[in-house]
Amino acid sequence: MNHFDYRNGVLHAEGVEIPDIAKQVGTPFYCYSTATLTRHFHVFRQAFAGLDALVCYAMKANSNQAVLKTLARQGAGATWCRKANCAAVWPPASRPARSCFRASARPRARWISRLPPASSASTSNPSRSWNCSRRAPWPSARLPLFRCASIRMSTPRPTRRSRPARRRTSSASRGSARQVYARAAELPGIKVTGIDTHIGSQITELQPFDDAFALLVDLVGTLRADGHAIEHIDLGGGLGIPYRVDNSPPPLPDAYAEIVRKHVTKLGLKVMFEPGRLIVGNAGILVSEVIYVKEGDAKNFLVVDAAMNDLIRPTLYDAFHDIKPVVQPPAATPRMKVDIVGPVCETGDFLGLDRDLPRLKTGDLIAVATAGAYGAVQAGTYNTRLLVPEVLVDGDRFHVVRPRQTYEELIGLDSIPDWLK
Ligand code: LLP
C-alpha cells in the first residue's frame, strides 16, 4: 500500500503531480510520501498492540532528517549507529527509552564515553563489550549505565533444506552465548539486560522468523536459569516488502506479529523491533527523465538520466524495481521490450532489464517504484555525478528535504597538496 497513484493518467505523490515536482527540482530526484511512511509505521506498531513493544526504525534504510522527523513525530524510536544523524530528531533525553544503538561495526570503543548515561546499546561482537567496559568512564561501580545493553546473537537464517545444519550451529552458539553472558556479568560498567537478533533483510516467509525466534526465546530461558536478568528482546528488522506486483505478496505485519506473540508473550519481556525497509521502502520513488530511446536489432534501450550511482540496488543485488511512465500514454500506444539504462558508460549501469513498457520518447518521465529504502542512502557520485535531491510530499504540499548537490560542493571535498599548487 502506498500513496503514489495515477489521477487522470498522471502519477501523483499524494495530492501532488510528479511532473510539477520535476519542473521545480529537475530530474532525477527521490520523492517520499508522508502518508505512506506514517501508515506503514502505524500498521506495524498496531500489529503489536497489547505487547510492551518499541518500534525502533532502522535509519540505515533512509536517514534523511525529514523522514526521521516524520517518524519520530509518530512515536517511532530509532536504531542508529551515528549519533550525529539522530541527535536533532531524538534528543538525548528521549534516547534511552526510544532508541537502540548498534555498535556492531565500531572499530574501537571510543563511542562508549560519548553515549548519554543510561543509554541503550547493542553489540554483536562480545569483544566490543569487553572494550566498552574497559573504556567506560565509570569504573568504580557496576551501575546500570547501559540500561538495555544486549548482545546480538547470530541465529542462522534457516531454510527447510538446511535444518539439520541449523540445529548443530544453534547448539554450538548456545554454549558460547552462555560463556559470553557469564563473562559480561563480571564486567564493571556494564549491565547486560537483553538479547537481540537480526536474521536478514527482505525475508518474505514467516518460517525463518519462527525458527529464529524459537531459538532466541529458548536461549532467554537458559540465560535466566543461569541467573541473568533478561528484560528485553530485540527481534531486529527484515520483514520483506512487495517489489514485484506479479509475485505473491509477503506476509503482512499482523501475521508476523502472530509469530512474535506466540514466542514472546509468555516471557514478560519488553520487545524491540528494527524495521527499515518495511516502513520506508514503498514510501519512495525515484523519478527520472528519458534522454533518448535507442532501438536495435537485438535490444532496445531507454537511456534515462538516473544511473547506477543514484540507485545501485538493481546492479548490486539484481534487485527488481517496478518501472512505469509518469504520464500514462493512450491505451493504443505500442509497447516495447527495453532495458532501462543510465548514462554512465558501463555494463552495470541499469535500473531494469527486459521490461515491457509503452513506447516512450525523449523528455518523458519514468518512476522507479519502491525506492525509499536503501536508495538515496546508498547513492554515490561515481562518474562525477551529483547526489540527487530528495523531496517529501505531505498532502498537496512538498518540500525539497535535500537539495541537489552542486559541482562546487562535490569538487570542494578534494584538497590539493602544497606540492601540486
Ligand atoms: N537491524 C539491523 C541490525 C540491520 O542490519 C538491518 C539491515 C536492519 C535492522 C533493517 O533491516 P530491514 O528491516 O530494512 O530489512 N542494502 C540492502 C539491505 C541491507 C540491510 C542490512 N541490514 C538492500 O538494499 O537490499
Cβ pair 344, 309 in contact under 8 A? yes
Q: Which of 128, 201, 241 to mutate to test the pocket of ligand 1 (most atoms within 8 A of CB)?
A: 201
The beta strand positions in 284-364, using DSSP E, are 284-295, 300-304, 323-325, 335-341, 350-358
Phi, psi of 317 (to 5 degrees): -115, 5
Within 6 Å (CB) of ligand 1, which residues are found? Answer: 58, 60-61, 79, 102, 198, 201-202, 236-238, 274-278, 313, 317, 373-374
Angle (CA) 380-385-389 rounded to 5° is 75
pLDDT 10s digits, 23-68: 999 999 999 999 999 999 999 999 999 999 999 999 999 999 999 9
Q: Which residue has the higher pLDDT, 217 or 162?
A: 217
Cβ pair 304, 294 in contact under 8 A? no
CA 190 to chain centre: 29
For residue 276, give the nearest of 265, 284, 267, 286 by alpha carbon. 284
Nearest atom in ligand 1 to 124's CA: 3
Compute CA distances 42 → 47, 54, 198, 270, whole Å: 8, 12, 21, 19
pLDDT of residue 112: 45
Nearest atom in ligand 1 to 104's CA: 3
pLDDT of residue 93: 66
Range with the lowest mean pLDDT among 219-223, 353-357, 414-418? 219-223
Query: Ligand 1 center to residue 275 CA distance, Å?
Result: 8
Nearest atom in ligand 1 to 276's CA: 14
Query: Ligand 1 center to residue 274 CA distance, Å?
Result: 9
Query: Ligand 1 center to residue 60 CA distance, Å?
Result: 7
The residue-averaged pLDDT of 406-415 equals: 98
The residue-averaged pLDDT of 99-106 equals: 61
Helix 34-46 with 65-73: angle, nearest 10 deg: 50
Query: Ligand 1 center to residue 276 CA distance, Å?
Result: 7
Neighbours of 345 (CB within 10 A): 9
Distance between CA atoms of 415 and 356, rounded to whole angstroms?
46
The residue-averaged pLDDT of 174-178 equals: 81
Cell of 242: 512487495
Helix, coil or strand: residue 55: strand
Helix, coil or strand: residue 174: helix
Is residue 4 over pLDDT 90? yes
Residue ranges of the domains in the chain? Answer: 4-31+281-411, 98-275
pLDDT of residue 333: 96
Query: Ligand 1 center to residue 162 CA distance, Å?
Result: 23
The residue-averaged pLDDT of 89-99 equals: 68
The beta strand positions in 216-334, using DSSP E, are 232-234, 270-273, 284-295, 300-304, 323-325
Range with the lowest mean pLDDT among 98-107, 304-313, 403-412? 98-107
Distance between CA atoms of 256 and 384, rounded to whole angstroms?
43
Output DSSP code: residue 65: H
Strands 350-358 vs 397-402: parallel, antiparallel or unpaired:
unpaired
Cell of 289: 527523465
Q: Which of 101, 195, 198 to mutate to test the pocket of ligand 1 (most atoms within 8 A of CB)?
A: 198
Is residue 353 over pLDDT 50? yes
The mean predicted confidence, pLDDT, of the chain is: 86
Distance between CA atoms of 119 and 99, rounded to whole angstroms?
8
Strands 10-13 vs 16-17: parallel, antiparallel or unpaired:
antiparallel
What percent of the chain is modeled with pLDDT above 70? Answer: 80
Helix, coil or strand: residue 208: helix
The residue-averaged pLDDT of 4-33 equals: 98
Residue of the nearest CA to atom 17 in ligand 1? 374
The count of C-alpha atoms lying within 13 angstroms of the C-alpha of 7, restricted to the half-sphere facing its C-beta, is 10
Query: Ligand 1 center to residue 246 CA distance, Å?
Result: 24
Residue of the nearest CA to atom 7 in ligand 1? 201
Query: Ligand 1 center to residue 124 CA distance, Å?
Result: 15
pLDDT 10s digits, 360-399: 999 999 999 999 999 999 999 999 999 999 999 999 999 9
Burial of 397 (0-12, 13-18, 19+ CB in 10 A): exposed
Q: In what helix (H) or strand (E) does residue 154 lie, and over which residues does it extend?
A: none
Distance between CA atoms of 150 and 154, rounded to whole angstroms?
13
Helix, coil or strand: residue 356: strand
Nearest atom in ligand 1 to 152's CA: 3
For residue 324, give the nearest of 299, 362, 287 by alpha carbon. 287
Is residue 265 over pLDDT 70? yes
Residue of the nearest CA to atom 6 in ligand 1? 237
Asked if the domains 4-31+281-411 and 98-275 are classified in one and the same CATH topology, the answer is no
Phi, psi of 125 (to 5 degrees): -120, 110
Angle (CA) 361-363-366 rounded to 5° is 80
Helix, coil or strand: residue 203: strand
Phi, psi of 188 (to 5 degrees): -80, 150
Residue of the nearest CA to atom 5 in ligand 1? 198
pLDDT of residue 159: 45
Cell of 186: 563480571
pLDDT of residue 111: 44
Cell of 224: 535466566
Distance between CA atoms of 416 and 421, rounded to whole angstroms?
7
Is residue 107 over pLDDT 50? no
Burial of 332 (0-12, 13-18, 19+ CB in 10 A): exposed
Nearest atom in ligand 1 to 274's CA: 9
Residue of the nearest CA to atom 16 in ligand 1? 374
* CATH code that applies to domain 4-31+281-411: 2.40.37.10
The residue-averaged pLDDT of 259-286 equals: 96
Residue of the nearest CA to atom 3 in ligand 1? 198
The residue-averaged pLDDT of 79-92 equals: 75
Is residue 133 over pLDDT 50? no
What percent of the chain is modeled with pLDDT above 90? Answer: 69
Beta-ladder partners of 304: 290
Positions marked active-site: 345
For residue 274, give the nearest of 85, 100, 157, 103 by alpha carbon. 100
* CATH code that applies to domain 98-275: 3.20.20.10
pLDDT 10s digits, 198-247: 999 999 999 999 999 999 999 999 999 999 999 999 999 999 999 998 88
Q: Which residue has the higher pLDDT, 178 or 337?
A: 337
Nearest atom in ligand 1 to 281's CA: 14
Q: Which of 99, 272, 277 to mutate to test the pocket of ligand 1 (most atoms within 8 A of CB)?
A: 277
Residue of the nearest CA to atom 19 in ligand 1? 201
CA 185 to chain centre: 32
Q: Which residue has the higher pLDDT, 90 or 352?
A: 352
pLDDT of residue 190: 74
